[in-house]
Chain A
Amino acid sequence: MTEIVGFTLDQLATDIEALEQYIAGGGALQLNICTEDIPTEADLASLVLNAEQAGFAMTFPEVSLQSGVPTTSFTLSGSTPRSNYLGAGIPTGQWQVLIPLLTPLATIGIIAYGITKVGDISKAIMPILLVAGGIMVVSIALLRRPAERYLERGGRVPYLPSTVTLNNIPATVSGTKIKDIDIPSGDLKLSLPTAGIWLLLAYDDEIDHTTKVIKTWLISDVQDINNNFADGVPFSLLENAVKKVPQLEKVIFDQSIETGKTEPFLIETNRKARKCRFTLNGEVKEVACYYMVKVVKARSSTVYGGRLNPKEYLPSVVDLPDCTPLLENLPATRQKRKYIYALTNFNSGYYFTPDFSYERQGTALDILAKAKGAGESTIQIWNDAQTGYWKQFGYKEAKQSISIAEAEKLLGVARKEEVDQGRDPDRPAITLVEYTPYKRIRNIKGLYFPATVQTEFQKAKETWDKSGEKERERILIHIGYFPSERFFDWNELRQDRKIWIVDYFKEEHPGLFEGLTPSKKTATGYMTTNPPSPIEHNGLQYYVHMTFPTRMEAEEEAEGLRGSGSPSKILVKPWEGGYVVYEHPLTWDEEKEVFVPDTVHGWMKTPPLDFIEVEGVVYRRHINFPTRKEAEEAAAGLKHCKILIRPWEGGFVLYKYMSPAVRDFKPGEHTQNLIESVRDEKEAIAMYHDFADMADEMGDQTTADLYRHVAAEEEHHAEEFGQRLTELGGALKYEPVTAEFMAETIAVSGYKDKLDQAFQEAIQRARG
């Protein structure tokens, strides 16, 4: 086995050319490239596409973390690049073509590479060899680049999971500041029975993308949460705690790493802190840090936390006392869509927003038509802008029940005005609302106060003041502005009954927000990396079901799944500013009469091998099945392939024969032209058979197998193609013929008479 190791693309160009001569007679090269960061799927796809266009036959790159270093591994067939597969000889001097194709990896930053010459490509694709080669390269890469290089990268891992599991308590990381509880501001108070406060120091492990909790501290001697977090946690508290952990020898936070000067670690003020260095079991680690605060309440536990870096993850919340000036200064005439809600009697009643009515029930026209269709005599209506239609019709309340006829009249005026303004008449500034669906969606009753913010805020306060202590826990006041990309964190509202101000029109009233914590949108857009799957929660494996930009949407999906009758367990977790609905799939085992993990959807815990070799034949993974019966049924439909069915972690994997030559086969230009020139699919298949026969005659068994396999694949595809065309309307599933049309086509062929004559003569001859 020949191995070359290098560190730059220039070196790679030289080395790969040098190695080329060793594989002139066949074989393959395995390339392992260590990079600064993990290449994206787009990077890999770009690499493969470019390489294939250049005539290289390569396996799809596998990316793995070897000792924490992203390592991209793939195998190049020794007989590539090909310009003509049928042509004799192997072109040389073209391997440098590969170098610019590695640009996607070079952009990430190549640390090191290793080329391994392997004797036979069928062995090269065996995973065990990939792993072995990867380790070899990585170990050298690590020698070249000291460990600090990689550890530093822990400080700039761009996306980290926003979850932490501590003692099997699901943790929701939701903010960087917890100071809206028990605030003695003279205004609203929320009472939160507190059993204890925990501080967690954690970091994200970039290798397995889990949050590692270094240490938790019970801040048992501090009962006033607000005071604690307003002033920060004294560093001495942490220092003392560290001393109590025998294996944790020393922890240095943040700036001290750069300056050597130890600074107090204050949660509130030390937001710039990005790293901490600690020694654990003799090993020095320098990682990005989190602080997390676990507030243990009487009936539930919630972990709050926040990342110190990056700053983009600052929350979109401010606490109520800070917002008092905002409320007082809000203009009396509300602009656009701004609402104040007082949701009382939390567990029963209605809840709605105009945005929901619009999105979920269609336009006002739709709603009106639906109400008429249902035989309703009245309908709820409100004016979106407060200052428009209601005034001209003398309405004083923004929401009112009116007759259907009256609603039609209003709608007509609204639509006309939209037309006059050059806008879409189907989206008039008027909203008709049906209430019923919201019972189903939220099962929450609420009261909508359509007057000014100040007035309604006052009402809310009065309601609060009059309520008893027990009742207050059930009272929620939500002040919000719509549309809001980040609506609000419904889970937090539901759990904590806190007062939040969610989003605001900063652009519209910048002066109102002076002194407030700036808001950054955290839930816009989706993740840029895939959330982890599966994750373990309470000992169960959960798999990604769907991702959402907001928790609201994720919770809605989760509610739908829970209410669908499926026994599967559902979990919602944040990830990179969005939210993920996880599912632990379960199905009913009729024999055992228990719910069992659904292997159809849950699949195996680890992916089965993509290739396996049996008696010198390499099989490629085709489909996974939960039962052998299903795998065998599928195998029966694959007529032209060698099939192998192997069990894997509770399921069964259907493998198809795929010789290395076939797998890497790329028709050369000449062959391609031949194939394309034969437009008829059947003839193309026949041509492949002919090529196989020719190869047989020449004693080239590999090429013969190659073409026979391609022919078999094409025949299989031909069947699928016909069905696909049918779906597309391009071809018919059934080709009927009428007697008239049939007679016509035979007549057109000119053989009708000849057929008649031949058969009649043959009948006479046969019957003597």
Chain B
Amino acid sequence: MDIPTNACIRTDPRWDKAVRHLGYEPVDILPENAGSLRTDADLISESQEKLARVKIVPDAQLTPRQMATLSLIREINHRNARVRDIHAAEIPPASDRVRTAGMYGRHDQNVYISTDQLEAGSQAVSTCIHEMSHHQTGKGDGEERHEEVIGSMAAAIVDQVSRGDYDQYLKNPEFVW
């Protein structure tokens, strides 16, 4: 069997989507053939430890463009999900193969958006919708309900944008889609 370079040992199919999220491909492999491959559980555990070191970037330290984007997605949250708050943040990479765009903290019900995602509204809104759907559903990545809510929430936001609900944020010249 050809083992992909980004393989990890599958210990539980439940983790498949989560580890793919981290840039790894779970494979069924006997431990004696696994060599130095890590398990999916190890990867996730390491990822969680890294993510716990997230640092919130205070609003005052954001650029006008980042602040404009953050204001918009906070309003989107207020109208659609009501997570406790959305913070700009320096989020550690979730694994050595990916960078982290955003994060939802189950324990504090906050959404953290990477500051580089705030440079463009399209990235930030998409990230926001993804994370708010975690809050709405309580489900993890790849779970059907989570994906359903992403779709329905995106549809709602399209309607709201078309109605002009966010115009006051969009007219800010600092905002870039």
**A residues in contact (CB < 8 Å) with B:** 680-682, 718-719, 722-723, 726, 729-743, 745-746, 748-752, 754-756, 758-763, 765-767
Contacts and interface: CB of A to CB of B under 8 A. Distances in A.
Given A680-B137, A751-B154, A766-B171, A736 B41 contact: no
B35 interface: no
Contact of A751 (B106, B141, B155): B155
Given A735-B134, A746-B126, A754-B154, 19 more contacts: A723-B107, A732-B140, A733-B52, A734-B103, A736-B51, A737-B21, A737-B100, A737-B101, A737-B103, A738-B101, A742-B123, A742-B130, A745-B141, A745-B147, A754-B158, A755-B161, A758-B158, A759-B170, A767-B173
B106 A734 contact: yes
A759 B91 contact: no
Interface string B81-124: 00000000001001000111111111101000000010001110
B131 A737 contact: yes
Given A741-B21, A745-B130, A763-B170, A735 B103 contact: yes
A579 B173 CA distance: 78
Given A722-B138, A732-B140, A738-B98, A751 B158 contact: yes
A736 B161 CA distance: 26
A763 B121 CA distance: 11
A512 to B, nearest CB: 56
B162 interface: yes
A635 to B, nearest CB: 19
A748 B100 contact: no
B151 interface: yes
A562 B110 CA distance: 46
Given A736-B47, A737-B130, A745-B150, A760 B177 contact: yes
Contact of B138 (A682, A726, A734, A756): A682
B44 interface: yes
A752 B167 CA distance: 19
Contact of A746 (B18, B103, B150): B150
Interface string B151-177: 100110110011010111011010101
Interface of B: 14, 18, 21, 23, 41, 44, 47-48, 51-52, 54, 91, 94, 98-107, 109, 117, 121-123, 125-127, 129-131, 134, 136-138, 140-141, 145, 147, 150-151, 154-155, 157-158, 161-162, 164, 166-168, 170-171, 173, 175, 177
Contacts of B100: 736-738
A733 B121 contact: no
Contacts of A723: 106-107
Given A719-B107, A722-B107, A739 B123 contact: yes
9 contacts: A733-B105, A736-B94, A736-B103, A738-B23, A738-B98, A740-B98, A745-B141, A749-B154, A763-B175
Nearest to B100: A736
Given A681-B138, A762-B161, A766-B167, A735 B150 contact: no
Contacts of B131: 735, 737
A289 B122 CA distance: 87
B102 A742 contact: yes
A758 B104 CA distance: 26
Contact of B140 (A718, A735, A743): A735
Contact of A742 (B91, B101, B106): B101
A763 B158 CA distance: 13
Nearest to A768: B171
Contacts of B21: 736-738, 741
B167 to A, nearest CB: 4
Contacts of B145: 680
Contacts of B109: 719
Contacts of A739: 99, 101, 117, 123, 127
A735 B112 CA distance: 10
B26 to A, nearest CB: 15
Given A737-B101, A749-B147, A754-B154, A765 B130 contact: no
Nearest to A720: B107
B164 A748 contact: no
Contacts of B18: 732
A765 B47 contact: no
B164 A765 contact: yes
A729 B167 contact: no
Given A745-B150, A758-B161, A766-B171, A735 B177 contact: no
Contact of B91 (A681, A732, A736, A745): A736
A743 B98 CA distance: 14
A767 B104 CA distance: 32
A739 B94 CA distance: 11
Contacts of A734: 47-48, 51-52, 54, 103-106
Nearest to A747: B126
The 7 closest A-B pairs by CB, nearest first: A751-B154, A766-B171, A749-B151, A766-B167, A734-B51, A722-B106, A739-B101
A741 B105 CA distance: 18
Contact of A749 (B52, B127, B150, B167): B150
Interface centre among A680, A735, A751, A767 (most CB of B within 10 A): A735
Nearest to A725: B106
B123 A732 contact: no
Contacts of A729: 41, 44
B141 A737 contact: yes
A742 B127 contact: yes
Contact of B151 (A740, A750, A767): A750
A687 to B, nearest CB: 15
A768 to B, nearest CB: 8
A767 B68 CA distance: 15
A762 B125 CA distance: 14
A762 B140 contact: no
A725 to B, nearest CB: 8
A403 to B, nearest CB: 37
Given A742-B130, A760-B177, A732 B44 contact: yes
B153 to A, nearest CB: 9
A762 B24 CA distance: 39
